[in-house]
Structures are given as C-alpha cells and as structure tokens.
Amino acid sequence: MSSAPETPSALDVLLSRASTDQLGLPAPDKGQIARILSAGLRAPDHGKIRPWRYIVIKGKNRAGFAEKVVEAMLAADPEVPEKKIAKRRQRFSEMPMTIALVMALNPQSKIPVAEQELSVGAGAMNVLNALHAEGFGGFWVSSDFAEQACFRDALGLTETQRLAGFLFVGTPEKPVGGSKRPDIQDYMAVYKGEPVKFEADQ
Ligand SMILES: Cc1cc2nc3c(=O)[nH]c(=O)nc-3n(C[C@H](O)[C@H](O)[C@H](O)COP(=O)(O)O)c2cc1C
C-alpha cells in the first residue's frame, strides 16, 4: 500500500521557488490574487508607511497596456530597436497577468526612503513566494521606461509614487524549482569577534 505524499513544509516551498516567464493560463482569479497580494502586505514596514501598491493588469486590458509600454519606451529612446519593442509588446499583451509594483514613498517621513523601498521589495518577494505556494509562477522584470510622464499619467501615479518593476504572473508551463543555487556556506559567516570573510568573495 502506498502512503500519501507528504505535504511540503513552508520552508520546502520557499526552498523550491524559482522564477519563470514561461507562463500560461490560468492566472489567479479575483479571490486568489487578493489573497496572494495580501502576503505582500506582510512585509516589514518601518513606521507603518504602508508603501505597497499593486496594479493588476489582466484580460482585455493587456493589449492597451502593452501599447502604453511601447509609447513609454519610444519616449525614453526614440531609437530603441524594433526587436526590443516587439518583445515587450508581446510579453505585456500575452502574459496571463502583470502586476505593476508601485512604491508609494513618503520623502517627508523620518524613515529613510531606502527603507520604504526595501519594504516594497520585501513585499514583492512575499508575493512571488505566495504565487509559488499556490501553484502559480512569477517573474520580476524591470521598468526602465516607467519614469516617462506619458506612462506615469497612464497609470495615475502621483509625484511620490515610483515603480519597482513588474511581476509577470500565470501558471508555469513546466515545473520550476530545479534550478541550481549557490552553497549557503559560501554566503554566510559566524561572527567570532573578528572581521568576517565570505567564501563567495575569495
Ligand atoms: C528588481 C528586479 C528586476 C529584474 N529585472 C529583470 C529583467 O528586466 N529581465 C530579466 O530577465 N530578469 C530580471 N530580473 C531577474 C529575474 O526576475 C529573476 O530573478 C532571474 O531570472 C533569476 O531567477 P530566480 O529568481 O529563479 O533566481 C529582475 C530581478 C529583480 C529583483
């Protein structure tokens, strides 16, 4: 008699996450994405700034959003290669879901802006882990064109809001998690009263 497979622990889930941009349907539904993004709001947040904002782009709004991306790319660099435009247009219109990671920063706060940005990064990582835990996949990409006024206006960003990138979201087309990682012993050190050295830096 075969025994039921063991449920992976929370740590097993964290240790098996990997990014993938080979993503198909389904994307998380309304309830699922609300729960997954709630994991983002579990990020540490010095001073209760609450700097996380998530814009969900899905379904029929993807194509129009992709055109805003192209418009911003051209505003940033009119000479941008056609190949780069085609790739981004395709990804933003075909990924099952995209989440724009907005950093709602408070420059007046005594909490350094860098800490506020780190909180948004920590939130994004929680979202990637939550996606993985729920059987979905994600891939964090940069938003080098996002400072363009046309793009900021299209998203309704205020003066103190900036993007930390985008998460592409969907169901992995093949299993993830097998990618090789460095050995932790090269990246950790135990302090023994002397300056530390990391194997990774030798
Ligand atoms: C802020 C940020 C921006 C990133 N931007 C890109 C990007 O534009 N293109 C890309 O190929 N990877 C980008 N990456 C890396 C991928 O999201 C991913 O981490 C990488 O492919 C390694 O996969 P792993 O997460 O399984 O280690 C970015 C990562 C971070 C944290």
Tokens 């964090």 appear where? 140
Residue 193 Cα, ligand 1 centroid: separation in angstroms? 36
- Going by alpha carbons, the residue nearest to atom 6 of ligand 1 is 141
23 in Cβ contact with 169 (< 8 Å): yes
Quick one: residue 185, left, alpha or beta (phi over 0 = left, psi -120 to 50 = alpha)? alpha
Q: In this predicted structure, what is the pLDDT of residue 7?
A: 92
Which two structure tokens, joined as six digits, stand for 125? 């990582």
Instruction: Tell whether ligand 1 has an atom less than 6 A from the beta carbon of residue 145.
Output: no
Q: In this predicted structure, what is the pLDDT of residue 122?
A: 99
What values do phi and psi take at 107, rounded to 5? Answer: -65, -20
Q: In this predicted structure, what is the pLDDT of residue 76?
A: 96
Q: What is the CB neighbour count within 10 angstroms for residue 33?
A: 22
Instruction: Tell whether ligand 1 has an atom less than 6 A from the beta carbon of residue 139.
Output: yes
Long-range contact list for 89-92, CB < 8 A, 24+ apart? 90/66, 91/21, 91/66, 91/141, 91/168, 92/57, 92/62, 92/65, 92/66
Q: What is the CB neighbour count within 10 angstroms for residue 160?
A: 14
Residue 202 Cα, ligand 1 centroid: separation in angstroms? 25
Q: Which of 164, 173, 181 is nearest to 40 (CA)?
A: 164
**First-residue to last-residue Cα distance in the chain:** 51
Q: In this predicted structure, what is the pLDDT of residue 177?
A: 74
Instruction: Tell whether ligand 1 has an atom less than 6 A from the beta carbon of residue 22.
Output: no
Q: In this predicted structure, what is the pLDDT of residue 1?
A: 55
Count of alpha carbons within 13 Å of 83, Cβ hemisphere only? Answer: 0
CATH T-level fold of 18-201: NADH Oxidase (3.40.109)
Q: Which residue of 16, 17, 140 sits with most ligand 1 atoms within 8 Å of its CB, as the best mutation to test the pocket? A: 140
Q: What is the pLDDT along the chain (202 residues), one digit of tens a residue?
A: 567 778 999 999 999 999 999 999 999 999 999 999 999 999 999 999 999 999 999 999 999 999 999 999 999 999 999 999 999 999 999 999 999 999 999 999 999 999 999 999 999 999 999 999 999 999 999 989 999 999 999 999 999 999 999 999 999 999 987 788 999 999 999 999 999 999 999 9
122 class by beta-carbon count within 10 Å (0-12 exposed, 13-18 middle, 19+ buried): middle
171 in Cβ contact with 162 (< 8 Å): no
Counting atoms of ligand 1 from 1, which one is nearest the CA of 181?
Answer: 27
Instruction: Tell whether ligand 1 has an atom less than 6 A from the beta carbon of residue 18.
Output: yes
Instruction: Tell whether ligand 1 has an atom less than 6 A from the beta carbon of residue 168.
Output: no
Residue 169 Cα, ligand 1 centroid: separation in angstroms? 13
Q: In this predicted structure, what is the pLDDT of residue 6?
A: 86
Q: In this predicted structure, what is the pLDDT of residue 104?
A: 98
